[in-house]
Structures are given as C-alpha cells and as structure tokens.
Structure 1
Amino acid sequence: MVKQERAARTRQALIEAAAAVFAQEGFAAASLSTISRQAGVSNGALHFHFASKNALADAVEAQACQRLARITASVPARPGPLLQQVIDATHALMDALAADIVLRGAFALACEPTRARQGSPHTHWQRWLEDTLRRAEAHGALARGVRAADAARTLTAATVGFAVLGADDPSWLARTRTTALWTTLLPGLAPRHDLPRLRSTGSHPATPHHPHPRP
C-alpha cells in the first residue's frame, strides 16, 4: 500500500511538472529531463510511469478532461435564460485555469500541431458548449439567425485563446476579461428580451478552485 501511494504521488508530480513545462515551453521544446527535474524524480522513475513524452502529454490531457467535466457538471441549471449557464461555466473555467496548472498545460497542448493526440479539453469544452447551446436554441434562447454550432465554435476559439494567452500573462484569465467578453458577445447572441436578465459577470463571485476532488 505504501509503495502504491508513493507511486501514485510520483505519477501525479510528473503530470503536474509536465503540464507546467508544456505551458511554459511548448510540447516540442519540452525535454523529459526538465520535466523529471521539476518533479524532483529521476529519469528512470519518469520512464517507469511514462514510455514517452507523448504518453505524458496524453496523461496531462486526460486528467484535464476529467477536471473540465467536473467544472461543467458543477454549474447549476437556473431558472431563466440558458445562456446564463454558459456564462457561468465560462467564468468557472477561467477561474480554474488561473489556479490549475494541469488545465493550463493541457490547453497549451491543444495548440501544438506536432503530436498525435487521443483527446483534448478544448474538444470536450466545445462539445459541452454545443450541447448546451443547442438546448438554448431549441428553447428560443438564442438571437434570431444564431446557430448553436457557430456560437459554440466562436466561444471555444475565444476561451482557448484566453487560456493560451493566460499562460504568459495571467491577466487574460481575470474575471474582468471574461466579463468583457460576454458584454461584447451577448447583444449578438441573446434575444433582446433576455438581455436584462443575463449577467455577464456570472451568477456568483469567484470561489476557490480545487484541482483534485475532495474526499
């Protein structure tokens, strides 16, 4: 049991170190020796857990997808326009990116054309956005002429852009930036009669993000 716990801690340290290095240097420039040094383990320990840099990047993305799923699942459905749920989820994602290096590293990997991937958080995010916006469209909660798929692609591009820029400049992840994004987009996305009920600031103030599930 002690060996298993130590192995799990080592694996997690490697995932977090890899995410940090990927966010700072990119996938192509990142070296396994830099990742192992940042994790405080030997190269041998790294290769025991991960056969290659690509396998390590896959693990970063897989863990980020799990965390993203928890974020979207935690956004409550509220009475009123469905777009508020999308606004709240966007704020929750940006708050999490500011606090969670695994999410930031995975979103940085999404922009890397140099490797094959099994799944990325921005793909999961786009799918969630499209599913939610299709429900909004079906309920007449999108402006006339706005298609859910187009809106989902626009929001995905904007939020992935904020995430990538935020790796170098954390101000891109500030709630004021997300609020400004929604203040700009809402007049074109929402029916006019819903605008007074939509809060571009989000329904709630920021809450601390816990990257690991609580026991």
Structure 2
Amino acid sequence: MAKQERAARTRQALVRAAAEVFAQCGFTTASLASISERAGVSAGALHFHFESKQALARAVEEEAAAVVRDLVGRVSAAGPHPVQRLIDSTHALMGRLDRDVVVRAGFGLGGALPRRGDAMYLHGVWRDWVEEVLGDAEREGVLADGVSAADASVAVVAATAGFELLGADDRTWTSTATLVRFWELLLPRLAAADGLGRLVSGGTPAVVPEGG
C-alpha cells in the first residue's frame, strides 16, 4: 500500500509539474527534463509513469476535465434556474482558471496535441455543458423570445473561450468584474423578461464564493 501511495504521489507531482511547465512555456517548447526537475523526480521515474510528453499532456487534460465536470456538477445541484446555473458556472470556471494551473494548462493544450476527433478536448467538455444547460433553459421557456439554445451557446462558448485565452496573459479577462459586465450586457437579450430581475450577474454567492 505504501508503494502504491508513493507511486500515486509521484504521478500527481508529475502532472502538476507538467501543467506548470506547459502553462509557462507552452507544449512545444516544454521538455521532459524540465518537468522531471520541477517535480523533483528522476527521468526514469517520469518514464515509468508516462511514456512521452504527449501522454503527460493528456493526463493534464484529463485531470483538468475532471475538475471542470465536478465544478459544473456542483453548480447544477445548487440551483433550479438554468440561466443562473450558466452564470454561476462561468464565474466558477474563471475563478478556477485563475488559481488552478492544471485547469489553465488543460485549456491551453487545446490546439497543441495531435488528435483524432477530439480537437480542443477541454473546450469540448465546456461546450457540452453550456449546450446542455441552455437546452434546459429553452425547454423551460426561460430564454428571451426569438433566442434559441443553439445560438446562445455559440455566443457564450465563444466569449468564455476568449476570456480564457486572453486571461492567460492578463487575469483581468477572467475576473469577476469582466464577467459581470459580460452578463449585464448579454442577459437582457438572453433571458426572458419576466425572470430577468431574479438573475444575479455576479453569480450566486452561496454557489460561487468570492474568488470563484
């Protein structure tokens, strides 16, 4: 059991070190030597757990995807109004991007890896969630007249992907203030008028505590 625990800790250290190096240097210029050094493990230990830099990158993406799925799952469980769930999830995601290098690197790896059919993998996880919750909103009749879930999804996914990309160099883009301005602009066009006053553009405090 102790050996298994050590192996799990080593693997986790490598994933985090890889995320830090990928976030700092990019996938292409990152080296396995720099990752093993940052993790404090030997090159042999790295290759025991991961056969290549691509395998490490995919492990970073998988861990980031698990975090995002858990995040949106907790938001889903917290409130009934689908548009508020969408608002809350954007605040939670941007807060996590700001403080979690694994999630940040996972999104940053989107276009860097050779793939078959899952290009921009983590962005796809996020897109699926946005489409799901806006589909709920459409079925429940809480979108504004003339607004479809498909069209709204395009706008929200494109905007949040832009915030994530720009936020890699300037955290202002992933800040609460930026998201509040975005939602205050979008909500009058997105949400049905009779429910607009109940929506909180800054996120539901009980769901999204200060700092995301």
- TM-score > 0.5 by shorter chain: yes
Quote the Cα distance in structure 2 between the aligned partners of 1:22 and 1:30.
6
Give the letter for the 2:181 counterpart.
A
Within-5 A mapping of 1:21-100: 21-75=21-75, 76-79=77-80, 81-100=81-100
Give the letter for the 1:144 counterpart.
D
Give the letter for the 1:164 counterpart.
L
- Give the Å deviation of 1:6: 1.2
Give the letter for the 1:135 counterpart.
D
- Give the Å deviation of 1:121: 2.1
Quote the Cα distance in structure 2 between the aligned partners of 1:100 and 1:16.
10
Give the letter for the 2:12 counterpart.
Q
Quote the Cα distance in structure 1 between the aligned partners of 2:126 and 2:142.
20
Give deviations 1:32-56, integer Å, cap 9, x for gaps: 1111111111221111110111111
Residue in 2 that maps onto 1:212: none
Tell me, yes or no, if structure 1 residue 201 matches structure 2 residue 212: no
Residue in 2 that maps onto 1:145: 146
Give deviations 1:144-189, integer Å, cap 9, x for gaps: 2222122222212222222222222222222111111111211221
The normalised TM-score by structure 1 is: 0.88
Secondary structure of 1:105's match? helix
Residue in 1 that maps onto 2:115: 116
Unaligned segments of structure 2, at least 5 residues:
none
- Give the Å deviation of 1:78: 2.8
- Give the Å deviation of 1:8: 0.7
Give deviations 1:106-125, integer Å, cap 9, x for gaps: 0111143x522657222111
Give deviations 1:6-62, integer Å, cap 9, x for gaps: 111111111111111212222112111111111111221111110111111111111
Give the letter for the 1:115 counterpart.
P
- Give the Å deviation of 1:207: 5.1
Unaligned segments of structure 1, at least 5 residues:
210-215
The normalised TM-score by structure 2 is: 0.90
Report the count of equivalent residues: 207
Moved over 3 A (4+): none
8 Å CA contact 1:95, 1:206 repeated in 2: no
Secondary structure of 1:116's match? coil
Quote the Cα distance in structure 2 between the aligned partners of 1:38 and 1:167.
21
Alignment root-mean-square deviation, CA: 1.9
User: Do the aligned partners of residues 106 and 144 (structure 1) sit closer, same or farther apart at CA in structure 2, a change above 3 Å counting?
Assistant: same
